[in-house]
A = this chain, B = another copy of it.
Amino acid sequence: MPKVGMQPIRRQQLIKATMAAIDEVGLAEATVMRIARHAGVSAGIISHYFGGKDGLLEATMRQILSALGEAVAARRRELTTTSPRDHIGAIIDGNFDRSQVTGPVAKTWLAFWASSMHKPELARLQLVNDRRLYANLCYQFRRVMPRDEARTCARALAALIDGLWLRGALTLEGLDSDEARRLARDYLDRLLDTRDTLSPS
């Protein structure tokens, strides 16, 4: 089997196997042997291509987050308007993109999120992603309301999106992405109604 140019193939194979293993038994019991078995290779190969288990986990999280960012960016590129409502809607849709909310990805995402509380490297990746979402939302809200109110709306909508993800990852049936999108967009509509309830105290 040994051919040249295996590196990108094996890396992708192992990242996919990592998500499958975490989906199956959770991060705590996703051992290198189990991951390697999922990929049909030996355990030693993980250290060879990722320097160790931590390297593989970090690469997996990085892939999930970058795919998430790309899903959002793609939807926004397709927009023809500059309306804040449409842009925020695209951000919502991107966050509930089909490829992001399937069982393995969602469960791995939640596992990493919990793990990032105590692993600095994962926390860094998570923070970058979080800041991007918040900044995007904030910028769009800012166009139709005062600064402080925009910030509050951005935090609220981001929390709802995360909450829907969280619940989707836990329920056995997985996330109903259509309903999640509907709920988030309805919340957006209500936030854009000028009612000024959320003006800062």
Interface residues of A (CB under 8 A from B): 25-29, 107, 110-111, 113-119, 126, 152, 155-156, 158-164, 166-167, 169-170, 179, 182-183, 186-187, 189-191, 193, 195, 197-198, 201
* In contact, A197 and B201 (Cβ under 8 angstroms): no
* Count of chain copies: 2
A176: shortest Cβ distance to chain B, in Å? 10
A159 to B186, CA, bound (A): 14
| A25/B162 in contact, CB under 8 A | no
Q: Which residues of B lie under 8 Å from residue A166 when comparing CB positions?
A: 113, 159, 162-163, 166
Closest chain B CB from A123 CB (angstroms): 8
CB of A17, distance to nearest CB on chain B (Å): 17
> Chain B residues with Cβ under 8 A from A195's Cβ?
190
Give the docked Cα–Cα distance between A26 and B117 (Å).
Answer: 7
**Could you list 12 examples of A-B contacts with CB < 8 Å?**
A26-B115, A28-B115, A29-B118, A116-B170, A126-B170, A158-B163, A158-B167, A163-B163, A163-B164, A187-B187, A190-B190, A190-B193
Residue of B nearest to A193 (CB): B190
Chain B residue numbers with a CB within 8 Å of A156 are: 160, 183, 186-187
Closest to A180 in B: B159
Which residue of chain B lies nearest to A170 when distances are taken between CB atoms in the complex? B117
The answer to whether A186 and B182 touch across the interface, beta carbons within 8 angstroms, is no
Assess whether A152 is in contact with B183, with CB atoms less than 8 Å apart: yes
